[in-house]
Amino acid sequence: MSMGHNDPRSVPRKEDARLLRGQARFLDDIEPPAGTLHAIFLRSPHAHARILGIDASAAHALPGVLVLTAEDFPHLAPLSPDLPLAGFAPVPRPIICTDTVRFVGDLVALILAPDAYIAEDAAELVLVDYDPLPAVVTLEDALADGAAEVHPQAPGNLLFQNRTATEGFDAAFAAAAHVFREDFSASRVATVSLEPRGCLARHDAGLGETTLFSSTQVPHLLRNTISTALGIPESALRVVAPDVGGGFGMKASVYPEELLAVAAARKLNRPIKWVGDRQDDFLASSHARDMRFGVEMAMEADGTLIGFRLDVLANAGAYPGIPFGSSIEAGGGPRTFPGPYRFKHYAFRTRAVATHTTPSGPYRGVAAPVGFMALEGMMDRAAAALGLDRAEIRRRNLLVDADYPFINASGIRYDNGPHHALLARALELSDYRGFATRDTDPDRLRGIGIACITEQTGQGSARYRARGLLRIPGIEAARLKVEPDGSAVLFVSQTTQGQGHLTTFAQMAAESLGIAPEHITVQEGDTALTPYGSGTFASRGVVAGGGAVITAAETIAAKMKRIAGHIMEADPADIILRDGVAEVNGVPGLSISIEEIARAAHAMRPIGMPPGETFGLDTTQHWDQPVSSVSAACHVAEISIQRRTGQIRVERYAITHDCGRMINPMIVDGQTHGAVLQGLGPVLMERLLHDSEGQLMTTTLLDYTLPTMLDMPDIAMDHIETPALDTLGGVKGVAEGGTIGAVPALVNAIAHAMRGYDINIRAIPVRPETLLRAISTKDSR
Amino acid sequence: MKPPPFLHAAPETLPGALELLAEHGDAARILAGGQSLMPLLVMRMARPALLLDINRCAGLSGITRHDGETRIGAMTRQIAVQRAPETPALLARALGWAGPRAVRNRGTLGGSMAHADPSAEAPAAALCLDAVMVLESRRGQRLVPAAEFFLDALVTAIAPDEMLLEIRIPPGHPRHAFAETGVRQADLAMAAIATDLALDRQGRISAIRIAAIGAANRPVRLPLAEQALLGQSPTPATLRDAARAGLAGAEPPSDLIASAAHRVAVLEGLLADAVLEACAA
Ligand SMILES: Cc1cc2nc3c(=O)[nH]c(=O)nc-3n(C[C@H](O)[C@H](O)[C@H](O)COP(=O)(O)OP(=O)(O)OC[C@H]3O[C@@H](n4cnc5c(N)ncnc54)[C@H](O)[C@@H]3O)c2cc1C
């Protein structure tokens, strides 16, 4: 239903033909070199235990098997992510456990064998003597008096804490006509990319160089972290991300497996290949969003917002993740909370809590889907209490054009944002007014929910410094090279996992170069080819990476114009590059092809370069986005609940969306659709469950129920393109908003459907069981 | 997720397969479509010394009719069963819920029965239709009614040296329905009801069979509900009372997907829906 496909900017994705034909090369498609050892990681079966001894003799007896433990890597220093800022506990993460394991899945030994089958046989034969210790699993466990401590460096299990209040906060709250309170919570979820993690490390002893292929979102970060931990020059390590089957933030962290693969490849001088399976993925890839939001909202009598007080908790798991650290969710929660609303008073306390569970990390939207569930849940509660329509209470508080530029209560700058138009159009698209005429099936309870959201995108170096994350540069870079035949290669510091970079960046470069996108090849994901940068996460692609691409393209375009001017004896300012030629403005018929310019630039034409000009069309440009860019959306979800089973079905779904100027609307739509499904899952069915000892009970896709295409609603979608003022090219980032909006819109729709029943919807997932209990309690009365 | 070492045998005749079964007994495991067995192998939850692959055995698949009785070879793929005109409509409908198409292309009807997953659709349909399982071994053949075949979760009456050869289904009643709910669309059943029935001229139920998924750790018939409905017109009140009676003593599993109480509540609703739908059909 979306219009994206009909837009001329929606050129087909360059990546699709090879993906659809099975020509892509994912990690496991890389042929292992002769002599490769296949790795299996032996993981702790206990949430918390001391390792008393490891007996690998039976495993060593299998042909070609090697078992490596912490003793074999005496020089591997633990990793520490966070700057020693106030509020952070300085907790390191061991790369391989020495004497203590801290979650089910913590890494105890590396088992190497001629093939993965023998490696698994060997893993069964390694006997580890554990002395189990008391474990803390939930937030409540970890914060209880006398709770077992996960790390001595983090008293009270607090890995990170922060509190702040704006000036005059208490007085403003005390004077408020209304203060509404609620506690919201989300169950822990897994990312579940189609392709689990994996890596292949290859060492060339003669050159002293190691190549690591890894299914990662952050090749440069990975190289930097591994070289520091192993004490090898960064120049002696090359990291390559092949085709990557999804990451969604989970692959933006550096994991011990990658470090150990490189360490073992160098130690043994043998290639090491590890392909994680689904169980590895559930146990040892980052978890997310095990969070609580305690919210107090102060309002004037007419529903005008005064401010919020938050108490945020995030279960960070056993260790701070690398490189995003322990504050990823606890810090991000209050930072992204204020959304599209105007309010001045803001106070929060936030804590990241250590538990004996898998470390948490970034996952599409990070804390924002839960934060907006809380924020938009409060708006609905206030509307009910004040007798206002749910759209009306939002209208009274959404930012208006006169507010811009606006700095919100958490310090984020908004250059613009068409929030009222987004809401109005979403109400039309969803036929919000006509809801009652559709609410007629006696067998189903029907509800409609609104969510107005913002998405912070494209953070630059200043933001990562402020968060104490030194390992994340925050900058991106692009090298653009026009070849003698007039085709171009663009090397970008990011890497793609399905976002369509190869198409979008080519389109962005084409705009100023006048070279067709199909003649611009985009290369990413190889530290040996691409300039240094941060990687692909936090919707930074078009803003941060795109900023570098635009700068590089404009630099080369300017040089091509100078060369063209020289050849045609025209002022470079009069040269227009388009459709593969350089034309002189106002002189019809006078033009030369870009190929001719490129040949001249490579000394392949009789005519020389303009005086003072160097040969070549080759530049590397860096981009540091000065202020984050804020995208916005309004989601309206309509659901129904089967009265006899409590089963929820999504009936209608509408989105209006602003991510600034769009490069390829079809890709924007695709990103948004996928993101909606990743918001629907955690609301309707996804949850990771531990038992009280910390055993993860959901380690297969039978137990961890992911939505499928059959659960995906048709989405009506419209864009209100509002070019950003604070970025190059007017773009704003995209890809997380779908998730951020789907969670609150669906939760609010469910709560609306349950109006009239005695139930308070404030935790996800919302289980049919809970709904049915409320329905039958009332209906049987 | 790699299996431990095993031997693989792929006999081309039934006697060859039975010979190997007799010899290896418990240590052998039959491989049919592999849709359930392969996951068990790679998770090392099944560790057979011998994988007895019967995919090349002649004569184990096909659907025929004998005096109104339908006979389905154990190796017949679920998709073929679903599509064959001879297949009883209730079984075909139940299979429509049995996992994704790709899985049904490969999975066999016999495999689904022999695997006896408590959430599987085909066993519940078989139980509802009073199917008979034909078990074959070197010792000979025996016929086991579905009611005596499904013993527990993943446990059947098949002896270690036996193979399920055929599923026989006697003629059924003219009306049927299958109602299911799961966490997702087209997911494993959390609860389901299969029913086939007949109505008399006055629209009263003159014969009825009801089987449930999710009421126990195996598919079960609900005889008390059947009795309560016999001779009745399907009104909301009779349906509700029958459903309550049928599920009164049920001991459904409680697991990550749903609690026992929720399963009972859902089954009551599904039972009413299914019977109403069958009567209206
Ligand atoms: C993604 C997915 C979704 C699924 N969803 C559903 C669903 O919704 N509903 C459902 O019912 N099932 C579902 N299944 C299971 C599937 O239908 C299996 O096909 C079926 O359970 C087993 O049939 P098979 O031929 O594949 O048997 P196999 O996997 O080969 O064997 C299963 C077991 O039966 C034994 N066996 C097989 N044939 C015989 C025989 N002739 N005699 C004696 N023993 C035998 C085997 O030794 C093994 O123990 C799903 C499977 C997958 C992978």
pLDDT digits (tens, 9 = 90+) for A478-522: 999 999 999 999 999 999 999 999 999 999 999 999 999 999 999
- Residue A212 pairs with which residues in a beta bridge? A201, A239
Residue ranges of chain A that CATH labels 3.30.365.10: 287-397+416-460+626-779, 475-623
CATH class of the domain comprising A287-397+416-460+626-779:
alpha beta
A558's enclosing H/E stretch is helix A546-568
Number of Cβ pairs < 8 A linking chain A and chain B: 67
In this prediction, residue A466 carries a pLDDT of: 86
B16 close contact with A: CB closer than 8 A: no
pLDDT above 90: percentage of residues in chain A? 95
Considering the segment(s) A475-623 as one domain, its CATH architecture is 2-Layer Sandwich (3.30)
pLDDT tens string B36-85: 999 999 999 999 999 999 999 999 999 999 999 999 999 999 999 999 99
| Dihedral, CA of residue A538, residue A541, residue A546 and residue A547, to nearest 10 | 10
**A173 contacts: CB under 8 Å, gap ≥ 6:** A179, A296, A298, A306, A307, A309, A345
Q: In whole angstroms, give the CA distance from residue B166 to residue B72.
A: 6
A57 close contact with B: CB closer than 8 A: no
Closest CA to A77 of A95, A90, A98: A95
Q: Among the listed ranges A379-388, A465-474, B47-56, which one has the minimum average pLDDT value?
A: A465-474
- pLDDT beyond 70 at A98: yes
> B105, B112, B151: which to mutate for ligand 1, most atoms within 8 A of CB?
B112
Ligand 1 in reach of B73 Cβ (< 6 A): no
Torsion region of B121: left, alpha or beta (phi above 0 gives left; psi -120 to 50 gives alpha) = alpha
pLDDT, average across residues A673-686: 97
Are the C-beta atoms of A744 and A676 separated by less than 8 Å? Answer: no
Cross-chain CB nearest to B2 (options A116, A644, A708): A116
B265 close contact with A: CB closer than 8 A: yes
Torsion region of B139: left, alpha or beta (phi above 0 gives left; psi -120 to 50 gives alpha) = alpha
Q: In whole angstroms, give the CA distance from residue B10 to residue A423.
A: 64
Closest CA to A358 of A278, A291, A246, A282: A282
Q: Which residue of B has its CA nearest to A643?
A: B269
Phi, psi (deg, nearest 5) at residue A618: -150, 120
pLDDT, average across residues B169-194: 92
Q: In whole angstroms, give the CA distance from residue B94 to residue B73.
A: 18
Q: Which residue of A has its CA nearest to B182?
A: A647
pLDDT tens string A399-415: 999 999 999 999 999 99
Decide which of 3.30.70.520, 3.90.1170.50, 3.90.580.10, 3.30.1380.10 is the CATH code for A27-133+192-284: 3.90.1170.50
Q: In whole angstroms, give the CA distance from residue A520 to residue A512.
A: 12
**A105 contacts: CB under 8 Å, gap ≥ 6:** A43, A44, A280, A283, A284, A358, A696
The rounded mean pLDDT for chain A is 96
CB contact under 8 A, A644 and B268: yes
pLDDT tens string A312-331: 999 999 999 999 999 999 99
Residue nearest to atom 28 of ligand 1 (CA): B34
In this prediction, residue A82 carries a pLDDT of: 60
Ligand 1 in reach of B32 Cβ (< 6 A): yes
In this prediction, residue B150 carries a pLDDT of: 98
- DSSP assignment of A689-742 equals -B-TT--B---STTTS----GGGPPP-EEEE-----SSSGGGB---SSHHHHHH
What's the token pair of residue A545? 């990476």
Three-state DSSP class for A273? strand
Torsion sign over Cα A642, A646, A647, A649:
positive
Ligand 1 in reach of B96 Cβ (< 6 A): no
In this prediction, residue A81 carries a pLDDT of: 67
Instruction: Give start and end residues of each alpha helix (H) in A6-155.
Output: 16-20, 57-60, 116-125, 139-143
Are the C-beta atoms of A150 and A352 separated by less than 8 Å? Answer: no
- pLDDT beyond 80 at A83: no
Q: In whole angstroms, give the CA distance from residue A342 to residue B158.
A: 69
- pLDDT beyond 90 at A467: no
Q: Which residue of B has its CA nearest to A40?
A: B1
What's the token pair of residue B261? 């109480």
Domains in chain B (CATH in brackets) are 7-53 (3.30.43.10), 63-169 (3.30.465.10), 177-280 (3.30.390.50)
Ligand 1 in reach of B158 Cβ (< 6 A): yes
Residue nearest to atom 23 of ligand 1 (CA): B111
A623's enclosing H/E stretch is strand A618-623
What's the token pair of residue B262? 């929720």
pLDDT, average across residues A640-655: 96
pLDDT, average across residues A754-765: 97
Q: In whole angstroms, give the CA distance from residue A456 to residue A733.
A: 8
Cross-chain CB nearest to B1 (options A278, A644, A689): A278
pLDDT band of B185, cuts 50, 70, 90: confident
pLDDT band of A1, cuts 50, 70, 90: very low
Cross-chain CB nearest to B266 (options A124, A645, A685): A645
In angstroms, what is the span from residue B30 Cα to ligand 1's centroid?
Answer: 11
- pLDDT beyond 90 at A565: yes
Ligand 1 in reach of B107 Cβ (< 6 A): yes
In angstroms, what is the span from residue B110 Cα to ligand 1's centroid?
Answer: 8
pLDDT band of A74, cuts 50, 70, 90: very high
